[in-house]
């Protein structure tokens, strides 16, 4: 069982690294955020649907739980729209740094969802993360609009992570992800139809945009999202959210070398990011200590 947990934890770090690259792709893709998410969910649900057919897995799911998946799909769609909008109006580094608040929100909401007591060190580490984020925003105040979009995105991210933590107990991760992505695609499509957005220009993308979209939808979405739901069978939502705090680190480093330009931030910004990394490591050490005592 311990080896299974370690394997899940290492797999989670690979997923988080891939998510860090997702932000880079979001900056490289030049279409609007809601268009990007529509294409992402359409292509990703197609990949997962083909996988389920190839593996001869059942698509059957009770109506009540299907409605829950539909709702989670809406949350995911909004989460990604706000995420990519934050990147477009600020940058990758600022957007990902705000995502460090995910662990703090998870430490407050997970006890409500799962009926367990609040752990003092989870809240303590969440406060430290807020301090690190405050240091970052103190010197990068020009990106405040991006911060608000990123904040809305991470709150939605925590909510659907907690909901998936319950759904994964009963259903296959691939089936869960398929219905959630398909639902998100459906909701955005309805919105686009009302807005009259499906024009010829909407479907005319550059070659680079198509390439980045397929990488985003296949590796960074169909694989990474399904795998992240799967590891929740072994790890708690809080551990998933806190480890996800490494996404800013991976993403910021990648952005610095791949994109450059406005991604090169102040010294204080990198100090704040370092605080976040140390917090993640300390959480793992303390969590392991308390597990060993049980």
Residue 41 burial by CB count (10 A; 0-12/13-18/19+): exposed, middle or buried? buried
User: What pLDDT score was predicted for residue 80?
Assistant: 93
Question: Smallest Cα–Cα separation from 16: which of 201, 272, 247?
Answer: 247
User: What pLDDT score was predicted for residue 237?
Assistant: 64
Kindly report the length of the chain.
294
User: What pLDDT score was predicted for residue 288?
Assistant: 62
CB within 8 Å of 266: residues ≥ 6 apart: 139, 140
Each residue's pLDDT, cut to its tens digit, for the chain (294 residues) gives 455 566 777 788 888 888 888 889 988 999 999 999 999 999 999 999 998 999 888 888 889 889 999 999 999 999 999 999 998 888 887 888 787 777 777 777 777 777 777 777 777 887 887 787 777 767 666 778 888 899 999 999 888 888 887 787 778 888 888 999 999 999 999 999 999 999 999 999 999 999 999 999 999 988 887 787 778 777 776 677 667 767 777 887 788 777 776 666 677 777 877 787 777 667 666 766 666 565
User: What pLDDT score was predicted for residue 263?
Assistant: 63
Domain that holds residue 2: 1-293
Distance CA(213)–CA(44), nearest Å, equals 10
Question: Smallest Cα–Cα separation from 80: which of 162, 164, 181?
Answer: 181
Give a three-class secondary structure readout of the chain: CHHHHHHHHHHHHHHHHHHHHHHHHHHHCCCCHHHHHHHHHHHHHHHHHHHHHHCCCCCCCCHHHHHHHHHHHHHHHHHHHHHHHHHHHCCHHHHHHHHHHHHHHHHHHHHHHHCCCCCHHHHHHHHHHHHHHHHHHHHCHHHHHHHHHHHHHHHHHHHHHHHHHHHCCCCCHHHHHHHHHHHHHHHHHHHHHHHCCCCCHHHCCCHHHHHHHHHHHHHHHHHHHHHHHHHCCCCCHHHHHHHCCHHHHHHHHHHHHHCCHHHCCCHHHHHHHHHHHHHHHHHHHHHHHHHHHC
pTM for the predicted model, two decimal places: 0.82
Question: Smallest Cα–Cα separation from 131: which of 101, 157, 103?
Answer: 101
Place of tokens 């009540």: 64
User: What pLDDT score was predicted for residue 68?
Assistant: 92
Question: Smallest Cα–Cα separation from 99: which of 69, 129, 61?
Answer: 129
Number of domains in the chain: 1
């Amino acid at each position: 069982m311990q080896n299974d947990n370690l394997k899940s934890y290492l797999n989670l770090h690979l997923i988080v690294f891939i998510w860090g690259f997702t932000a880079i792709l979001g900056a490289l893709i030049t279409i609007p955020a809601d268009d990007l998410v529509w294409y992402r969910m359409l292509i990703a649900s197609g990949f997962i649907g083909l996988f389920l057919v190839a593996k001869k897995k059942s698509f059957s799911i009770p109506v009540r739980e299907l409605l829950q998946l539909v709702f989670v799909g809406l949350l995911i769609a909004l989460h990604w729209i706000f995420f990519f909008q934050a990147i477009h109006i600020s940058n990758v580094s600022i957007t990902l740094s705000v995502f460090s608040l995910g662990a703090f929100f998870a430490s407050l909401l997970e006890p409500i969802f799962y009926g367990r007591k609040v752990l003092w060190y989870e809240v303590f580490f969440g406060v430290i993360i807020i301090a690190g984020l405050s240091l970052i925003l103190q010197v990068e105040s020009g990106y405040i609009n991006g911060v608000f979009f990123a904040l809305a995105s991470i709150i939605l991210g925590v909510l659907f992570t907690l909901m998936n933590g319950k759904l994964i107990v009963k259903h296959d991760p691939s089936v869960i992800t398929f219905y959630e992505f398909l639902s998100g695609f459906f909701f955005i499509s309805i919105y686009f139809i009302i807005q009259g957005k499906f024009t010829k220009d909407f479907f005319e993308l550059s070659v680079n945009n198509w390439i980045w979209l397929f990488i985003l939808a296949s590796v960074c979405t169909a694989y990474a999202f399904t795998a992240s739901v799967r590891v929740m069978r072994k790890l708690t939502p809080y551990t998933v959210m806190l480890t996800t705090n490494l996404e800013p680190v991976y993403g910021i480093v990648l952005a610095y070398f791949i994109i450059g330009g406005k991604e090169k931030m102040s010294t204080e910004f990198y100090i704040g990011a370092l605080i976040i990394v140390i917090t993640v490591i300390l959480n793992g050490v303390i969590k392991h200590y308390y597990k060993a005592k049980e």
